């Protein structure tokens, strides 16, 4: 094992995404810049008797376009999405022609829920035909580490590999752990992110039973996800995958890789408050934001943009606003803050992956995506959420924050590459 200083600089060299806005990074980013919603009435199953009937589904995805048809039948949809996004990132980074040692390339692609589609279908098979009808592939199809495992098989990645599960903070924590592995010298390159495909009858029904999802906009689905707006009434479920390729700056430069930006720091904390509700005063996230800035060696005033968790639930958006105010003080009013979940819905364990990509593209293109459906200001959410239209503005430093059931908080910090 080679030894790399914990101060080694880590950069982003590849991006891959499948989202409700499109099935590659360019389509996704174009949708964000345009303020276009990818949310509609759920088409994958009958939602007519459910209180929430809208979601962010990946459209036009054919597993056969990304993997062997026979193998795809042994994989849950969430792992299919993970493979597709990982292949995009792998090719984007030029790893397909780099000729690197596979034992020096690792993979951390997590999932918050895993193979719930398979659980649902196999359960029906058992009740209809008995236990003998259960697929022999059921167990490896459902477990949440399998995205990393199958991506590794698909791309011949033999370095560090496991699956992080921290609900909606999963992808953010995966990116953070991958950064640490690179700094410890455990790998030269890491694929990191998340994948989720829980817009199923069982998954959707479960969240409906929690009364966590929006129910007031079934007839106007594109208006349902409205973070920080006074009329928000719950989150909108989405599905997809977002994966980054990370490597040390030295390694990327040595192989002549294209570099998007630098991954400068990260942090994680726990609210230790409630199994589903965030701490109402935002203390856990506040400390996470402070620790991320410390990890990155930055002062609050150096941050230009925050891609907020912004789920469109009453408690999350208020608590997140309080946390930002607690860290930035009066300077919080200067910050550009947006929730791209207003356009994609909430991808749960994959959210941090696609939202990190939004931060990275913001840095490279100097365009900040909006929070759409922001029509009625909320006195409790009184910062600049980039309402309804993208803003052209140079961005040097961007942060992405994600919160998960169980009180998990995760933050990653990106910066324009500087000498």
Active site residue 381: no
* Inter-residue contact 357 to 260 (CB < 8 Å): no
Rg (CA), the chain: 20
- Reported in sequence order, the residue ranges of 169-226 that DSSP labels E, i.e. its strands, are 189-196
Assess contact for 289 and 48: CB atoms under 8 A.
Answer: no
Active-site hit among 107, 309, 359, 381: 309
Half-sphere exposure of 298 (CA within 13 A, CB side): 26
Which one of 52, 107, 168, 381 is the catalytic residue?
168
Is residue 222 within 8 A of residue 166, CB to CB? The reply is no
CB 55 within 8 A of CB 238: yes
Q: Report the alpha-carbon distance of residue 116 to residue 330 in Å, rounded.
A: 44
Q: How far apart are CA 90 and CA 241, in angstroms?
A: 14
Q: Name the one residue in this structure whose structure tokens are 């925050």.
A: 306
Confirm whether 346 is a catalytic residue.
yes
CA 389 to chain centre: 22
Distance between the two ends of the chain, CA-based, in angstroms?
A: 28
Would you state the torsion angle of the CA atoms of residues 91, 94, 96, 97, taken in this order, to the nearest 10 degrees?
150
Q: Which residue, 168, 134, 150, is CA-closest to 350?
A: 168
CA separation for the pair 166, 403 (Å, rounded): 9
Catalytic residue among 66, 251, 266, 346: 346
Residue 251 designated active-site: no
* Kind and range of the H or E run holding 284: helix 283-296
User: Is-contact 28 21, C-beta < 8 A?
Assistant: yes
Strand ranges (E), 173-285: 189-196, 240-248, 261-270
Which H/E stretch holds residue 398? Answer: strand 397-404
Catalytic residues: 168, 309, 346
């Amino acid at each position: 094992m080679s030894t790399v200083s914990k101060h080694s600089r880590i950069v982003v060299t590849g991006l891959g995404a499948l989202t409700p806005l499109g099935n590659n990074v360019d389509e996704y980013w174009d949708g964000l810049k345009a303020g276009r919603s990818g949310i509609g009435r759920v088409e994958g199953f009958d939602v007519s008797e459910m209180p929430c009937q809208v979601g962010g589904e990946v459209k036009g995805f054919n597993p056969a376009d990304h993997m062997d048809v026979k193998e795809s039948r042994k994989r849950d949809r969430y792992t299919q999405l993970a493979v597709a996004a990982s292949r995009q990132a792998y090719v984007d980074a030029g790893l397909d022609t780099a000729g690197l040692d596979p034992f020096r390339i690792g993979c951390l692609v997590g999932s918050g829920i895993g193979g719930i589609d398979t659980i649902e279908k196999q359960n029906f098979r058992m009740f209809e035909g008995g236990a003998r009808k259960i697929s022999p592939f059921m167990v490896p199809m459902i477990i949440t580490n399998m995205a990393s495992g199958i991506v590794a098989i698909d791309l011949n990645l033999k370095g560090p590999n496991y699956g992080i599960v921290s609900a909606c903070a999963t992808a953010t924590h995966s990116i953070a752990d991958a950064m640490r592995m690179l700094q410890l010298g455990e790998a030269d390159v890491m694929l990191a992110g998340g994948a989720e495909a829980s817009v199923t009858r069982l998954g959707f029904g479960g969240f409906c039973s929690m009364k966590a999802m929006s129910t007031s906009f079934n007839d106007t689905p594109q208006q349902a996800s409205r973070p920080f707006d006074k009329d928000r009434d719950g989150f909108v479920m989405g599905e997809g995958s977002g994966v980054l390729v990370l490597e040390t700056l030295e390694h990327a430069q040595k192989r002549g890789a294209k570099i998007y930006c630098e991954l400068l720091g990260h942090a994680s904390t726990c609210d230790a408050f409630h199994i589903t509700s965030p701490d109402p005063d935002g203390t856990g996230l506040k400390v996470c934001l402070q620790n991320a800035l410390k990890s990155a060696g930055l002062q609050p005033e150096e941050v230009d943009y925050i891609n907020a968790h912004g789920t469109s639930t009453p408690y999350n958006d208020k608590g997140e606003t309080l946390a930002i105010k607690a860290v930035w003080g009066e300077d919080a009013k200067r910050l550009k803050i947006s929730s791209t979940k207003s356009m994609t819905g909430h991808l749960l364990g994959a959210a941090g992956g696609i939202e990190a990509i939004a931060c990275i593209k913001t840095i490279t293109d100097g365009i900040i995506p909006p929070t759409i459906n922001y029509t009625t200001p909320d006195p409790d959410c009184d910062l600049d959420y980039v309402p309804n239209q993208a803003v052209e503005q140079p961005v040097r430093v961007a942060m992405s924050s994600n919160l998960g059931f169980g009180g998990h908080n995760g933050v990653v910090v990106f910066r324009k590459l500087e000498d």
